[in-house]
Amino acid sequence: MPWCLQATEVSGQARHSSQGLLLGQGSIACPLVTHHYTHPSQTLIHHVQGPVHRSCPTSMPPPRKLPQRPWAASIPTILTHNALHVLLLPSPTPCLVPGLAGSYLCSPLERFLGSVIMRRHLQRIIQQEANLSIVNSNEPGVIMFKTDMLKCRVALNPKNYQTLQLKVTPENTGPWSQEELQVLEKFFETRVAGPPFKYNTLNAFTKLLGAPTNILRDCVRIMKLELFPDQAGQLKWNVQFCLTIPPSAPPIAPPGTIAVVLKSKMLFFLQLTQRLPVPQDPVSIIVPIVYDMATGLTQQADIPRQHSSSGAAALMVSNILKRFNELHPARQGECTIFASVHELMANLTLPPCTRQ
C-alpha cells in the first residue's frame, strides 16, 4: 500500500550501532523513497527524529532486490532508539488547538496508520451513499467527492501525516459562508477522522454531508457550538453532536451504531452538558431529535425511557420543543433544527438530582 510504512527485510540479524537500531528481517523499517514526491512515512520519520541519514554503515549487507513498485525502496532508514520511542509514544495530536485535540492520546505511528485506514474506509463509504459522488483525482492519496452543492477534498495533513484534513469548496455561489465551511472542516479533523478512528463516526458524517443544504447548515451551526463553547453566550448547556449512539442513550439501537438517519425525516442525537459556574460533576442528558422535512417541525424522538429521572428530563425537553413549535411555526423551506436546539440550550432547567 503506497501510503503505509512498508516492512523491509534486511538479511542477517538486527544490527546495533552508535547511531541506533537497524531493523532486521521481519521488522518494520521505513524505506527511503526514490520517486519524485515525499513519502508519508519519510515525513513522519523527519517529524520524530529530524533529517534521515541516507548513507548506510559499511558493515550493512547489500540490499535485497525489490519489485518495481512506486513504494518500493532498497535502502532502509535507520531509526535511533529515541526516534523509535517517540514514534510509539502516546502524545497530543500536533497542529491542533489544544481545546480541539480531544483527550484520546495515541502515538504518531498509530495516528498515521489510523488516518490511512480511515481514508480507505471513506472511499468505500462514498460509493455507497446516493447523495455523494466520487470525483477523479490525479493526486496520490487524495480523495475527491462532491454533493449537490459542495466539492470535498480529503488528504493526509502534508505537515506531519498524522491527521486527515477535509477541504470544502462550494460548487457555486450559494448560501455558504467561509466560517461555516471552516467549522465543517475543523469538525471533520477533530471529531470525525481522528482517534479513536471509528468507522461508524465517519459513516455518519458522510450522511450529514449528503443532507439538504438547509439541514446541513443548521447542523454546522450546532458543530460550531460544540467546537467553540465559549462563543455560546448565555446558554445553560454545552452541546455535543453524537455521530454514534452513546451508551446512555435511550434504547433504540446498540451503543456505537450510526446515530444519523436521513429519510423523509432526520433522526440524530445530541448530548447536552450543563454549564456550571463552579467546578463540579455536571449533569448530562442525551436528546434524540427528529426533524420532519415535510412539516419543518423539530421534536424529541418518542423513545421509551427506563429510568424515572431520564423520563422526567425527556418530558421537559419535549415540552420546550413543543412550545417553541407553537410560538415559531416553520416557514416554507426553513429548517428549524438549530433554532429549536438553541431554544433548548437556553431554557432547559432540570430539577436537582436529575441525571441520565
The whole-number pLDDT of residue 332 equals: 84
Q: Specify the pLDDT at position 98.
A: 57
Predicted local distance difference test score (pLDDT) of residue 37? 42
Q: Write the burial class of residue 222 (CB in 10 Å: 0-12 exposed, 13-18 middle, 19+ buried).
A: buried
Please tell me the predicted confidence (pLDDT) of residue 277. Answer: 76
Q: What are the CB-based long-range contacts (under 8 Å, 24+) for 350-354?
A: 350/274, 350/283, 350/285, 350/312, 350/313, 350/316, 351/312, 353/309, 354/283, 354/309, 354/312, 354/313
Taking only the tens of pLDDT, the chain with its 356 residues reads 433 333 333 333 333 333 333 333 333 444 333 333 445 655 665 565 554 444 444 455 565 565 666 655 556 777 889 999 999 999 888 766 655 556 678 999 999 999 999 999 999 999 999 999 999 989 989 999 999 899 999 999 999 899 999 999 998 877 899 999 999 999 999 999 999 899 999 999 999 999 999 999 999 999 999 999 888 778 999 999 999 999 888 888 899 999 999 999 999 999 999 988 777 788 899 999 999 999 999 999 987 766 555 678 888 999 999 999 999 988 888 899 999 999 999 999 987 655 44
Q: Are 341 and 222 in contact (CB under 8 A)?
A: yes
Which residue matches cell numbers 428549524?
336
